[in-house]
Amino acid sequence: MVGIAVIIGVILTSLNAVLSWKTLYGFFTGFFISSFSMVVNDIYDVEVDRINQLKRPLVTGEIKISEAWTYALMLLSFGIIFSLITSLTGFIIAVLFGFISWFYNFYLKKHGIIGNLTVALSISIPYIYGNVVSFAVVPTIQGTVFLGTSFLLLWFIIVSFLAVTGREVIKTISDREGDRTRGVKSITHSIGQENSARVGATLFILAVLCTLGPYLSKQLGTYYLVMVMIPDTLFVYLSYSILKNHSNDNVRRVKKLALFGMLLGFIAFIVEKMVIS
């Protein structure tokens, strides 16, 4: 998903930059660094997962902690290398993204909503990174295209930020027991399951409303509007579902379907750009 978001950032800036090796490098940068973050999350959350996720490889002993660290650093190295051969600016963003990913798992996750917002920010960075990749591919566009695409880019950042924050808040409901073992002061511990479900559902609905921004501002057209109704309908349903049922099983189902909904949103945008091009 993070790699695809980088490509979306490229498309938002310049279609001429899509068919480029540097765009592929950008995809791999997002892919590998986000993978690094996932492995590090499993390392720091191993005691939590002994309660919440019994089939995780570190919990079952299939992989040792030391092996997981080696794997994580390998993934991070691949991501950094791909960013370095893309551009200096891309390298700086990738290093920053990698540091934020580690710092979230090491420290920020324990601080409730701050950690949730950090995850959402990390998911928003790839759009900006894709913008930077475009400049590396077509340097002549840097002074002219950014201002023309910044508002559309901003819409995508806002929608992703709201949807991911909502998903992270909802996720704390099913993680509440395990989080106690690590001293995580999640939003569910602060305001309870029902209120957390309300916050998550509200963020989902706000994300849905913001998907209409590109159409209402006439930056995207009818094809986008028709296609985006599919993920929008899904997120409205997920909002209703989590309000009615915030059991652990339903929370896990909602957070998985939310990722699928984000992917459908990407597809809606890509279809629009392919048709109008």
> For residue range 163-180, what is the model confidence (pLDDT) as tens digits?
999 999 998 888 777 767
Distance, CA of 215 to CA of 223 (rounded, Å) = 10
Kindly indicate the confidence band of residue 67, based on its pLDDT and cuts at 50, 70 and 90.
very high
Long-range (24+ apart) CB contacts under 8 A made by 235-242 are 235/163, 235/204, 235/205, 235/207, 235/208, 235/261, 236/204, 236/205, 236/208, 238/201, 238/204, 239/200, 239/201, 239/202, 239/204, 239/205, 240/201, 242/170, 242/197, 242/200, 242/201
CATH number at 2-276: 1.10.357.140
* pLDDT for 250: 93
Whether residue 33 contacts residue 76, with contact meaning beta carbons closer than 8 Å, is answered with yes
Q: What is the mean pLDDT of residues 60-68?
A: 93
Q: Count of residues for the chain?
A: 277
Residue partners of 109: CB distance under 8 A and separation at least 6: 44, 115, 184
For residue 120, which amino acid is it?
Answer: A
Kindly indicate the confidence band of residue 141, based on its pLDDT and cuts at 50, 70 and 90.
low
The domain locations on the chain are 2-276
Lowest mean pLDDT segment, chosen from 10-14, 140-144, 242-246, 249-253: 140-144
Q: What is the mean pLDDT of residues 127-134?
A: 86
Q: What percent of the chain has pLDDT over 90?
A: 42
Q: Where are the alpha helices (DSSP H) in 109-247?
A: 113-137, 145-174, 176-182, 187-191, 193-211, 213-216, 222-244
The winner for highest mean pLDDT among 77-91, 128-142, 152-166 is 77-91
* pLDDT for 197: 93
* pLDDT for 210: 94
Kindly indicate the confidence band of residue 145, based on its pLDDT and cuts at 50, 70 and 90.
very low
Kindly indicate the confidence band of residue 146, based on its pLDDT and cuts at 50, 70 and 90.
very low
User: Is the Cα torsion angle 14, 152, 102, 260 positive or negative in sign?
Assistant: negative
Q: What is the pTM of this model?
A: 0.84
Q: What is the mean pLDDT of residues 221-234?
A: 90
